Amino acid sequence: MQLRDARSADAKDIARLANLAASGIPYYCWKTANPHRDPWVVGEEIVQKDTSDYSYKKCQLLVSGGKVAALLNSFRRTKIDTPAEISKLPPVVQPLARLENQAVGNWYINTLATSEDFQRQGCAARLLKRADDLAREAGVSKNSLIVRSGNESALRLYEALGFQVADNEKAIPFEGNLMGENWMLMVKLL
């Protein structure tokens, strides 16, 4: 598999994988904020912007046979969202924003996702190693990520690679998803 920087033309794959990683929250937000537009197109447009945290410019991909196998969207987290800003976000996103505030100054792994056809092939571990390298190159000593409490395979991987739970927030259920779940902020010292 080839590791490469994402391109604007990868927006469709990035949006799909971001939605997979975040348990459908992106699609839900794209749909509710833009009820008269195709939510996938809205997601692709967000990825194609240069300034968004979700920009393709902050993404790296593993590619195999011309197919996107896995996505890493990561960057140094520098912005703290105020309580007033968080209160304007969709309720389902607010717990995530509060946890993200605790990652300020860290290298933040915003999205890590592997396409269904490529799961259990070491893609996530390879991209997490890449995130470690990017953090070190940026002079950052901690990596942070958020994971859903019910994602047991991801939790095992993160713990095996040195991440520890730093905090958690109750997930807000939406459209029958995330019932009884928590979001967990995990941190790794480099």
pLDDT in tens, 113-171: 999 999 999 999 999 999 999 999 999 999 999 999 999 999 999 999 999 999 999 99
Q: Which of 126, 141, 147 has its CA nearest to residue 189?
A: 141
89 and 97 Cβ atoms separated by less than 8 Å: yes
| Residue 178 lies in domain | 2-189
CATH code, 29: 3.40.630.30
The total number of structural domains in the chain stands at 1
